[in-house]
Amino acid sequence: MLRCGITGGLVHVLAISLMLVASAVAGSGARAAEAALDLAVTRAQRLVAPANTVVLAAAASQEGHWTFANLKGERFTAATPDEMKRVASILAPEVATAGAKLLLVVTEASVFAGEDALAKLPRDTVLQLSTQIGVYALTDTKPRRVRLSPRIEVEVVERAAFDEVLLQLDRPLGGSGLRILSLEPGAPAALSPRAAFDDKSKGEIIERIDPPRLKEAIGALRGQTVLVTGRLDGRLLYFQVAGGPDRSVIAAELMEAARSADVNLIILDAPAGRQPGARNWLWQRAAVKGVDAGLADRRLEGLLEALSSDARPLSLKLTDATGDRVTLLAMEIGAAAPSVGGIGERLARVASDLTNTVTGRIEPAAIHLHLVSTSRQRELDRRLVRWLPSWASWGYLGLLLIGSAGARASWRWWSRIWPPEQATEYPGQLGLQLARGVRLLLYVALFMPLTALAAVPVAVLQRR
């Protein structure tokens, strides 16, 4: 009976604990949703909306209801289609006239809650997505497309992917800037550790590299951003050679070298594989369209903006996110994904190459970005030693700090393991001081942090 009573008590305590945890989680989620809606209201207040437009903030609940808020913060929850129709007239009666359009600034969680939630909103509603970084136009919901700028649109399936894309675009290109490589047989077999800069043109210098050594060269540019141009055809990256047939390198090997060295690799899939800096039959030097202009703010978004145009905006999609790497594909909005070996694709490449040959510009049909993931980059930024994980280096420093508090006890233990040196054991004063220095160094660097957790309580008790 006693055992049953104890067991029942434990079950009761466990049930109460689970209820408290669930309540805390639910409360945290509710607070986060409330904060997101408040942020959406702030974003809505700053919008410059067209005339005859009702601007509201909105958030979807887990039950499928929508909560709307006007610019004053007043709220209304709609659970039925009839209530949806009355939202504008209730929250903005002074603006909700006949023919007025509805503009909703919706929270990020609401957009990715599911297509059914967005389908409940009134038809012809203009949607703006509120995020921690800014507010963006939601141009489509099937699939979800977000317009980040007039030249860049992102296609996303889930919230984590969208957040990753935003952080990637906002990331600097790196301390060395952008390394623009030109594949040229017989060129140097290695690259300088840092990028060169042309003071006259205020742009990056194109660096020549021997194609067979490209993989090793990328592996040596740890933590930097590299741009390579060529024609991707399956697993091979083809490039033009002056006065000879096209050659190729294995694209997968370049990606693996970039992954091992935490390099951001950008591959411009250009129609004919012409290389930056090479001259055509009109003696014009080939250049990547707009790349110099895109380096002004040293961010990935600035580079993609420069590689696009108002007439050719880019659609960006996260195609892979495994481990410490993410892969993005940028193409002209409305363009089909690159195919391999199709007649139409070949004719299009030829036509595009003829045009670019005359103009001297390299305009990519697609941009493949193989990047360090945000979580991996944060880990690299936290490291004190490049090859040592951050938890190890910061944990070691923490143990050093803790160990200093228990140094009195650990030094006594160390003296028993390694007794102090005696002057009679050494022929000169120099040898004695060197031995004492080695003993002290090993104590501080190894023994004190290793025994920190045990030495501190002992030291505290001894002081009493």
175-223 pLDDT per residue, tens: 567 899 999 999 999 998 887 665 554 556 889 999 999 999 999 999 9
Residue 424: pLDDT band by 50, 70, 90 thresholds?
confident
Q: d(Cα 89, Cα 87) in Å, to the nearest integer?
A: 6
The answer to whether 154 touches 313, Cβ cutoff 8 Å, is no
Size of the chain, expressed as the number of residues it contains: 464
> How far is Cα 417 from Cα 451, in angstroms, rounded to an integer?
13
| Predicted TM-score of the model (pTM) | 0.80
Assess contact for 74 and 140: CB atoms under 8 A: no
Is beta strand 53-60 parallel, antiparallel or unpaired with respect to 66-69?
antiparallel
Lowest-pLDDT choice from 43-47, 60-64, 237-241, 446-450: 60-64
Can you tell me the mean pLDDT for 297-302? 80
Statement: residue 10 has pLDDT above 80: no
For residue 453, what pLDDT is reported?
A: 93
Residue-range domain boundaries for the chain? 16-142, 178-382, 390-463
444 compared with 79, residue with greater pLDDT: 444
Look at residue 132 in the predicted model and tell me its pLDDT.
86
Mean pLDDT for 284-289 is 65
Residue 32: predicted pLDDT: 81
In angstroms and rounded to an integer, the radius of gyration of the C-alpha atoms of the chain is: 31
Residue-wise pLDDT tens digits, 130-189: 988 889 999 888 788 999 988 999 988 888 899 999 999 988 876 567 899 999 999 999
Alpha-carbon gap, residue 241 to 208, rounded angstroms: 13
Average pLDDT in the 326-333 region?
93
